[in-house]
Structure 1
Amino acid sequence: MPDIEEAAMKVKLGPSKKRLKDELERKMTAYHEVGHGILAHILPFADGVHRISIISRGQALGYTLTPPENDKLQITKSEMEHDIAVMLGGRAAEMLIFKEQTAGASNDIERAT
């Protein structure tokens, strides 16, 4: 089963990369991803968390997977607002903990707008 899941992650997010990250970069990535995860977990109209990782894949230093439970043809305003909040949760965590935002948050902001 781990091989199938790794293959799915490779297709969806790209191959894992052996980037050398220092301790601060690992911490910042972890807090960023957990920021997404906390909001996805607590907001009632957001999709739940499937996986959080700080393993680099593609261009990302880490990722939080929040796949929808089922396919939807329409989305409510509340669902959209909660999805946007989840996308911005990584940046919010960076600002709360480090008083700085990283370039990693720029992709989240682009997706949210």
Structure 2
Amino acid sequence: MVFGCASLSAAADGEWHYTIDQARERQQANFCSSSASVEKIAGIFEGAGPRAGYSALSGSADCAIAVHTFTPRRVLRTVTISEDKPGEYVVRFVEVENAHGQIMYLVTTRDVVAQ
């Protein structure tokens, strides 16, 4: 089961963001193996809101909470939840490369910044 708040816990090094092209060691987060699944889930977040989005994320056979060492490569999409309201936050869909050189997709509420 995938929980939406999994990416909210602080990293062991205390950083609350990911940096493009900077490797992260053994991070637990929501990962997907298919770009098509990520696009579909992002569309659900955007069109139907966070409850439906997190439900789609947890129900996807291509996505799971897992621990990986990875390097963020680029942000594919961002979806703002509750825009201009208290509690506003952003869900980011990020292409990452794992330690084996495979492309995966991270779904996170953490900020993703350039170096």
TM over 0.5: same fold? no
Bigger-Rg structure (1/2): 1
| Structure showing greater relative contact order (alpha-carbon pairs closer than 8 Å, 6 or more residues apart) | 2
- Return the TM-score normalized by structure 2: 0.27
Higher helix share goes to which structure? 1
The structure with the greater share of residues assigned to strand is 2
TM-score (normalised: structure 1): 0.27
